[in-house]
């Protein structure tokens, strides 16, 4: 669906866009575990200047291939984000409910700003009214694997993104 070279180029572009938008600031990238690990690692290397990194672990899928719509925080931030410019980094936005929840959750910590970045936005599945600041790729409503995305904890290590057929 998306090749390794296409991903690398788009991540480079997103890093440049964030660099320009955050000029003079030190943003805190908040990677959403586990799926965003590969993306957030590559993204932070493409941002010129200092960045801080933290992680949240959330669950809205469980062992399913569709979001349950119920978001649970499994691991909270290690550092304070009050007064900081936060960028939530997701692997994929499906319904948008998780990202909307995370936006509200972060806003409660009184950051200077909260922005959102996702590698993938699944088209035709958003039920939440949500603006996403940085989008890598829009994809059709298929379940995908690779580049951090998994099916039952497998396939995260693929360097490309492919549709999962259950095989």
CATH number of the domain that residue 110 is part of:
3.40.50.2020
Alpha helices for 28-94 (secondary structure H): 37-45
Q: When comparing pLDDT for 120 and 97, which is higher?
A: 120
Nearest to 133 by CA among 87, 101, 167: 87
- Report the pLDDT averaged over residues 102-122: 96
Given the structure tokens 């009184």, which residue do they identify? 110
pTM comes to 0.91
Task: Note if 52 is an active site residue.
Answer: no
Q: What's the structural domain count of the chain?
A: 1
Q: What is the pLDDT of residue 161?
A: 98
Q: Which domain holds residue 26?
A: 4-139
Segment 116-126, tens digit of pLDDT? 999 999 987 76
Q: Which of 54, 94, 104, 129 is catalytic?
A: 94
E-state strands within 8-164:
28-33, 52-59, 72-75, 85-93, 113-122, 134-139, 144-145, 162-163
- Report the pLDDT averaged over residues 20-46: 97
Helix-then-strand count for the chain, H and E: 3, 8
Segment 66-76, tens digit of pLDDT? 555 678 899 99
């Amino acid at each position: 669906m998306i090749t390794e070279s296409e991903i690398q180029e788009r991540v480079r572009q997103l890093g440049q866009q964030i660099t320009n938008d955050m000029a003079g600031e030190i943003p805190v990238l908040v990677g959403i575990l586990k799926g965003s690990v590969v993306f957030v690692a590559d993204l932070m290397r493409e941002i010129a200047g200092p960045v801080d990194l933290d992680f949240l672990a959330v669950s809205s899928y469980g062992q399913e291939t569709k979001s349950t719509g119920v978001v649970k925080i499994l691991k909270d931030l290690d550092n304070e984000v009050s007064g900081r410019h936060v960028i939530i980094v997701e692997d994929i936005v499906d319904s948008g409910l998780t990202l909307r929840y995370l936006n509200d959750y972060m806003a409660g910590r009184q950051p200077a700003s909260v922005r959102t970045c996702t590698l993938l936005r699944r088209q035709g599945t958003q039920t939440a009214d949500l603006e996403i600041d940085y989008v890598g790729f829009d994809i059709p409503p298929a379940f995908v694997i690779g580049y951090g995305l998994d099916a039952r904890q497998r396939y995260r290590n693929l360097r490309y993104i492919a549709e999962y057929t259950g095989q």
